[in-house]
Amino acid sequence: MDHSVVMRPCACIPSLCAAAYTSNVITENLAIEGRNLSYSITTKHGKFVPILKDCSLRIPTGQLWMLLGPNGCGKSTLLKVLAGLLKPTVGAVYVKRPRSFVFQNPDHQVVMPTVEADVAFGLGKFNLTQYEVMTRVSKALDSVGMSDYMQRPVQILSGGQKQRVAIAGALAEACKVLLLDELTTFLDERDQIGVIKAVKNSLSESGEVTALWVTHRLEELEYADGAVYMEDGRVVMHSDVPSITSFLKKRISSYTDQINS
Ligand SMILES: Nc1ncnc2c1ncn2[C@@H]1O[C@H](COP(=O)(O)OP(=O)(O)OP(=O)(O)O)[C@@H](O)[C@H]1O
């Protein structure tokens, strides 16, 4: 994944705070909609490289969806287009505001010395009283199961705990959409499950927060409400979990047959 975009990790993206709505997009009950999105680049040698090709997706409010696909198929690029970090070459995007992007590497997520200060970091812009800040911080930490760590230094946290603190930062800012890029890549199994459960819990507590979770790990599908599967820059399937699981099992078994034949 490209980490060249540097910002306050997990902060709501300031340039996106105004409503960004592109005409002809139906938004009823949807937190995320992309229609016919293409994204391409032209290299310094003048070569045209299509990265996303006519991708469409619709994610209902309050749900956790996974974005799956082989290495290099365009998952992170699609997530960055939805985050507004990249402008699609063609197509329309609607994503509820505020939205937050959480990066893959836990060490890029936390910037303040303590957990409490880190979660409160993005709240300065809201002109809140100390009491309101404290209330938001404790509620957000509670949602991700990190209340007991409020006064801890961030350096001593595990990778998964850092990711949960980053998610709490977004929740404290009343984020409506979480765009989560392979958060569990660097985590051990226990931390991995802790992060995904924290996201799931945050969504069910609020009912208003929606998450799109990029992953390679098929076992994480069991926590999802739906999934989008990509290959070679295209959305190949967009559906409920049982259908996508059965599709992927067939895909894997046909691949195994091919390499064994
Ligand atoms: N700025 C860029 N310049 C050239 N190629 C790029 C650029 N950004 C992305 N790509 C290419 O576009 C394709 C999609 O990249 P992307 O990071 O979105 O894939 P991904 O599915 O997230 O991969 P991974 O699972 O390995 O993180 C890759 O082939 C990548 O090399």
Distance 56 CA to ligand 1 centre (A): 18
* β-strands 234-239, 226-231 pairing: antiparallel
User: Which of 5, 42, 51, 235 to probe ligand 1 with, by most ligand atoms within 8 A of CB?
Assistant: 51
Distance 75 CA to ligand 1 centre (A): 8
Distance 73 CA to ligand 1 centre (A): 7
* Domains of the chain from N-terminus onward: 29-97+177-260 (3.40.50.300), 106-175 (no CATH)
List residues near ligand 1 (CB under 6 A): 1-2, 41, 49, 51, 69, 71-77
Flag whether pLDDT at 128 surpasses 90.
Answer: yes
25-50 pLDDT, tens per residue? 444 689 999 999 999 999 999 999 99
What pLDDT does residue 23 have? 39
Report angle CA 232, 82, 15 to the nearest 5 degrees.
140
What pLDDT does residue 24 have? 43
pTM of the full predicted structure?
Answer: 0.85
CA-proximal residue: ligand 1, atom 6 (nearest): 51
Q: How far apart are CA 32 and CA 224, in angstroms?
A: 15
Which position has the higher pLDDT, 233 or 207? 233
Flag whether pLDDT at 3 surpasses 80.
Answer: no
* Closest to 171 measured CA to CA, from 131, 201, 213: 201
Contact, 146 vs 171, CB < 8 A? no
Please state whether 66 falls in left (phi above 0), alpha (psi between -120 and 50) or beta.
Answer: beta
Mean pLDDT of 151-163: 93
CA-proximal residue: ligand 1, atom 10 (nearest): 51
Q: How far apart are CA 155 and CA 21, in angstroms?
A: 39
- Interface predicted TM-score (ipTM): 0.96
Mean pLDDT of 130-143: 95
56-105 pLDDT, tens per residue? 999 999 999 999 999 999 999 999 999 999 999 999 999 999 999 988 88
Q: Around Cβ 43, how many Cβ atoms within 10 Å?
A: 8
Flag whether pLDDT at 5 surpasses 50.
Answer: no
Nearest ligand 1 atom to the CA of 233 is: 14
Flag whether pLDDT at 21 surpasses 80.
Answer: no
Flag whether pLDDT at 253 surpasses 80.
Answer: no
Nearest ligand 1 atom to the CA of 69 is: 21
183-194 pLDDT, tens per residue? 888 788 888 888
Burial category of 211 from C-beta neighbours within 10 Å (exposed 0-12, middle 13-18, buried 19 and up)? buried
Distance 78 CA to ligand 1 centre (A): 10
User: Which of 4, 44, 76 to probe ligand 1 with, by most ligand atoms within 8 A of CB?
Assistant: 76
